[in-house]
Amino acid sequence: MFTPSAPELIGQSSAWLETLERISLAAPLERPLLVVGERGSGKELIAERAHFLSRRWEGAYVKVNCAALSKDLLDSELFGHEAGAFTGATRRRAGRFEQANGGTLFLDEIATASVEVQEKLLRVIEYGEYQRLGGEDVLTCDVRVVAATNVDLPSLADRGDFRADLLDRLAFDVVTVAPLRARGEDAALLADYFGQRMARELGRPFPGFSRAAEALFVSHDWPGNVRELKNTAERAVYRVLATRDPDDIDKIPVTPDMLDPFSSPWRPGSDLGGGSRSVAGATRSAEPELSAADIRAALDPSHRMAPVNFQRQTAAFERQLLDDALAACDGHQKNAARHLGLTYNQMRGLLRKHDYVRKRSDDDEDETPLSGPQPGM
């Protein structure tokens, strides 16, 4: 059953509302529909919305991931097969078109379908006719096809890698899902939703995210879109709520290892020496701190679509967290690590990354106060 409160449907940005309006207009029509968007942007939820807003909403809604199956297996999955059609086919099997009769068939990653499967798709969309793999009888069905892709199908068709006539049939209307980086404040709304849900799962109250975390949610590019945001928000909540005393929690921060779970001084291929840090070939150098004005600008709707320097803001955000934690703990690393919800080794790795310099002392090494990054570093 379609639920309007599904997380990927949360949003109030103009780009997202335009997407929802387009799908609402196209959904009632008995025509194929093509949904285009980046990975993790919510294409499957948009396709599901199209089904449940259509006249077929009481019929079957069947999903097939074309990328998960080889040519012959996809043929069998979609159109069924007769006994003996291939090794292991001991009995007749109904395909997804037969199962979706009277309803909607969602074809995800349609660009990966073979030319042979594309030919059969073209015929069934055009005439409602198909044959099972290994069969001779012509079968009919009444199915609305909604397809999705994260690649440029017209370019594939121009190169001959996708049938142009099939593209013409699928593209009666095309709904392009806006990426999360174009949706402004929606990132903070979604993060709050996912954070509350994770807190409920842990049986703990949700204190909300810090303003710096909210600014980061808005300014980050999110190449993985809603899926990546969901992981980050839930990761931050569980790491804080599951490891800290409730009385010690104010707002939930987003530390570098929460934003990037692969962030580690021991990541394979990383430079473990001193100076500027290099992770997966990306050199990170010292930058000015993320000021209160930077945070306000990130949270200001009129500035949300302005270009940002991700490496600069992320590095500055990390240093600000380190500075605040060290100041609150009188420069003691172990206490600062606990304050940030990090292990001691994670803390040491971040300090090396940002060129913090140890003040010489006779104290134990773990408890020696630190000074911030030195000029020119």
Render each residue's pLDDT in the chain as its tens digit; 377 residues. 344 445 458 999 999 999 999 999 999 999 999 999 999 999 999 999 999 999 999 999 999 999 999 888 999 999 988 887 777 777 888 899 999 999 999 999 999 999 999 999 999 999 999 998 888 899 999 999 999 999 999 999 999 999 999 999 999 999 999 999 999 889 999 999 999 999 999 999 999 999 999 999 999 999 999 999 999 999 999 999 988 887 778 899 998 888 888 877 777 875 544 443 333 333 333 333 455 566 666 666 555 555 557 777 788 888 888 888 888 888 888 888 888 888 888 888 888 888 886 543 444 445 455 555 544 44
Query: Which residue pairs, CB below 8 angstroms and at least 24 apart, start in 11-16?
Result: 11/183, 11/186, 11/189, 11/190, 12/185, 12/186, 12/189, 13/178, 13/182, 13/183, 13/184, 13/185, 13/186, 15/178, 15/182, 15/183, 15/184, 16/178, 16/183, 16/186
95 with 76: CB under 8 angstroms? yes
**What is the homologous superfamily of the domain 7-178 according to CATH?**
P-loop containing nucleotide triphosphate hydrolases (3.40.50.300)
Q: Do strands 282-284 and 277-279 pair parallel, antiparallel, or not at all (unpaired)?
A: antiparallel
**How many whole angstroms separate alpha carbon 111 and alpha carbon 118?**
9
The model carries a pTM of: 0.69
For residue 34, is it left (φ>0), alpha (ψ between -120 and 50) or beta?
Answer: beta
Show me where the domains of the chain are located. Answer: 7-178, 182-373
Helix axes 344-353, 310-328, angle to 10 degrees: 130
Q: Which CATH number fits domain 182-373: 1.10.8.60, 3.30.70.20, 3.40.50.300, 2.60.120.620?
A: 1.10.8.60
User: Considering only CA atoms, which of 228, 227, 216 is closest in space to residue 290?
Assistant: 216
Tell me the torsion sign for CA atoms 9, 10, 15, 17: positive
Instruction: Report the 10 Å Cβ neighbour count for 90.
Output: 8
The greatest distance separating any two alpha carbons of the chain, rounded to the nearest whole angstrom, comes to: 88
